[in-house]
Amino acid sequence: MSDWSSGYNVDLGYTYGAYRELAPAWLGYVATVRGVAAPSGAWRYLELGCGQGVGLVLLAALNPEHDFLGIDFNPLHIAHARGLADAAGLTNVRFEEADFVELARDWPSDWGKFDYVTLHGIYTWLAEDVRRGLVGTIERATAPGAIVYVSYNTMPGWISTAPVQHLLRLWQTSEDMPSVQAVTTGIERLNALTEVKSGMTRALPTLKGRLESMEKQDRSYLVQEYLHDNWHPMWFDQVAEELGTAKLGYVGTASVGDLYLPSVMPKPQQELLARHSNPVVREVMIDVLVNQSFRRDVFARGAVPLWPAAQTKALTETRITLGKLPAGDEIKFKLSVGEVTGKPEIYRPLLDALADGPKTMGELAATRAGGANPFGDTTQAVTMLLQAGMARLHAPAADQAPARALNGALMHKVAQGAPYGYLAAAETGAVLAVSDTEMIMLAAVTEEGGPTERGPLSEVLVRRLVTLRKALVHDGKPLRTPDEMRQQAQALAGTFLDRSLPAFRAQGVV
């Protein structure tokens, strides 16, 4: 392990993810619902531990009038992020290689202060001195009233998995195994322990399900999750206390459906929770009741109150657009407490209204009849739809050119074998998850003289997949040769031309 990594595994670069909860519009919505003023005007955005930078360049492209800065200690990440921003011609985002311990001592004055600060999935993976430096960096980098997002592994949900992480890392370091091999070998050994009914595995009944899930997950992700010297899931009160030293106060969760979690808990749990009035203790008790394992918390460095009339105005003017409709008749929401079924009479009218185009929350509230608090009920219902991805915040890019340029760079890199899976929707302000086959076909049809019919497009897809040594999958079976691929490729090309491409164009992707 390199000394410069402070025990953080740098065998592989971080994954190429993008997370909707980090979007400034999403964080502003959380603050507004919780009665806290969100940053406005010429706000600035900072991501600490930005990884490969994919998420940050997408946000920068969708918000070209604002400044973005990404900081990471890994030069591989910074080099990649800079290359991606340069390929798209983005001028409002930059990336800097830096160490949190040093930044806490000497924050560069020319970097200025930031109104949104985010850190995803790093807090509980750091050595204690680096984590202290991270908190100090937050204190130096945030402007008064700033909104800060931090996600982390939390207790008590990770109690049963702590032995998994310890054994994986122990076996790797003691036997000097490469990281991916260490994950694969470790899963095999842990399965063997369950088969011989070891005392540890018998005492951890949820371990078998965890191992089954790990077997299906990307090995690069598992390396980043488990193979660090420092892996310390924390209780909410511990995180809140540490961030309190940077003058941060808790606002709410960015898992927005959980903002209403107490109201959907079983009645006995609601009654037990009601015994606790301390807000920090209540959060801990909610985590205990649902066995929380991962939190997406929003804090503020000075929670400026949004007075009721101003809050109502801000929510009333919030624009919502249609997302991905549920596959069946039932409307279900995945919350920390489990899966909750929504009443069709509440949610269908909202979805029907959004099918006609983006609406303000005020317009959606007008579709509801009766109720003691129709606007409050509408806010809760829309928030649940946002959680499920059935609705999205509508925040179009002020200038669509940067997003379209970034999309062009991303899709053409995927056609060359890059692992990106997201594009920017300039018309809505959303970041869309896009499959590699869709990326390859988008790159093809947007080229001058590119294919516009199913047959030629499917042939381009087959040739590209063969070149990249990738397979198509049909009914769980990998298709690898051109002859095997052609029928499935034609079906994919037809769906793409009939449905996906018009949708991408309508959303300002191309």
Cβ-Cβ contacts under 8 Å for 342 (sequence gap 6 or more): 331, 332, 333, 381, 384
**Residues in CB range of 296: below 8 A, 6 or more apart:** 21, 149, 151, 253, 254, 255
Confidence band of 370 (pLDDT split at 50, 70, 90) = low
318 CB contacts (<8 Å, ≥6 apart)? Answer: 29, 32, 360, 361, 393
The three-class DSSP label of residue 147 is: strand
Share of the chain above pLDDT 90, in %: 88
Instruction: Please answer whether residues 501 and 509 qualify as being in contact, where contact means their C-beta atoms are separated by less than 8 angstroms.
Output: no
Q: What percent of the chain has pLDDT over 70?
A: 97
pLDDT at 1: 44
Q: Yes or no: say if 315 and 38 are a contact pair by the CB < 8 Å rule.
A: no
Residue 224: per-residue pLDDT:
87
Average model confidence (pLDDT) across the chain: 94
Query: Confidence band (pLDDT; 50, 70, 90) for 412?
Result: very high
pLDDT at 397 over 90: yes
Q: What is the mean pLDDT of residues 403-412?
A: 96
- Largest Cα separation within the chain, whole Å, is 68
Per-residue pLDDT tens for 374-388?
788 999 999 999 999
- The mean per-residue pLDDT over the stretch 471-477 comes to 90
Which of the 8 DSSP states describes residue 259?
G
Q: Residue 88 has what pLDDT? A: 96
Q: From the CA atom positions of the chain, what is the Rg in Å?
A: 24
pLDDT value for 220: 84
For residue 369, pLDDT over 80 is answered with: no
Q: What is the pLDDT of residue 478?
A: 92
pLDDT in tens, 170-196: 999 999 999 999 999 999 999 999 999
Structure tokens at 332: 């279900």
Could you tell me the pTM of the whole model? 0.94
**What 3 state SS string does 418-485 have?**
CCCCEEEECCCCEEEECCHHHHHHHHHHCCCCCCCCHHHHHHHHHHHHHHCCCCEEECCEEECCHHHH
218 CB-near residues (< 8 Å, 6+ apart): 15
Instruction: Report DSSP state, residue 110.
Output: G
